[in-house]
Copies of this chain bind each other. A is one copy, B any other.
Amino acid sequence: MRLSKRGEYGLRAMIDLAILEPETGNGVVQIKEIAEREKIPAKFLEQILLTLKNAGLLHSKMGIGGGYYLARPADEITLGHIIRILDGPLAPIRCVSQMAYEPCGCPDERTCGLRLVMLDVRNAISDILDKTSLMDVCKRVEDAHLKLEEPSSSPQHD
């Protein structure tokens, strides 16, 4: 049930881009910057961002002052979409995948116990990842920062 490094790095980079977007003006950020900030091997990240670009989630600008930027508003890019591009289907087992269905060879799918449960799992995962956008993540990060600065919520004795 694991996310690959490829998927993890891609998500981190996209979140990084989304968070920086309001600060940079045009939203353009270099691979090298992202790689350093997120501790990702730069050459590996190149491939990942290129894949994401070819899938239409990123645009890029070549040459001096160039870099990558989100192809769409942050609230229109979901984590589920990013993961599907980099790691394939969310479903734990192909016979419950919406985007990449394959029969699993059980005698009758309608009464296959494993399938019934895994369908629930797939839906639970999709309910989160397909409904969480980069914008949502930005908000949660911001909220988490605010919560840290406001010590009233976790009272300390002097």
Interface residues of chain A, those whose CB is within 8 Å of chain B, are: 1-3, 8, 11-12, 15, 19, 38-39, 79, 83, 87-93, 104-106, 110-114, 116-118, 120-121, 124-125, 127-129, 132, 137-138, 140-141, 144-145, 148
Q: Report 21 cross-chain contacts, Cβ distance below 8 Å, ordered by A residue.
A: A1-B3, A1-B89, A1-B91, A2-B88, A2-B93, A3-B92, A8-B114, A11-B114, A12-B114, A79-B117, A111-B141, A111-B144, A111-B148, A112-B141, A113-B138, A113-B141, A116-B144, A120-B128, A121-B128, A121-B129, A124-B125
A12 surroundings in chain B (CB, below 8 A): 106, 114
Q: How far is the CA of A79 from the CA of B142 in the complex (A)?
A: 36
Residue from A11, A92, A127, A141 having most chain B Cβ neighbours under 10 A? A92
Write the nearest CB–CB distance from A45 to chain B, whole angstroms.
15
Q: In the complex, given contacts A1-B91, A113-B140, what are 11 additional A-B residue pairs having Cβ atoms less than 8 angstroms apart?
A: A1-B87, A1-B90, A2-B91, A38-B106, A39-B105, A111-B148, A116-B141, A117-B140, A120-B128, A121-B125, A121-B129
Q: How far is the CA of A2 from the CA of B117 in the complex (A)?
A: 14
Write the nearest CB–CB distance from A46 to chain B, whole angstroms.
20
Q: Which residue of B lies closest to A84 (CB)?
A: B1
A93 surroundings in chain B (CB, below 8 A): 2-3, 8
Does A140 contact B116, Cβ atoms closer than 8 Å? yes
Q: Which residue of B lies closest to A79 (CB)?
A: B117
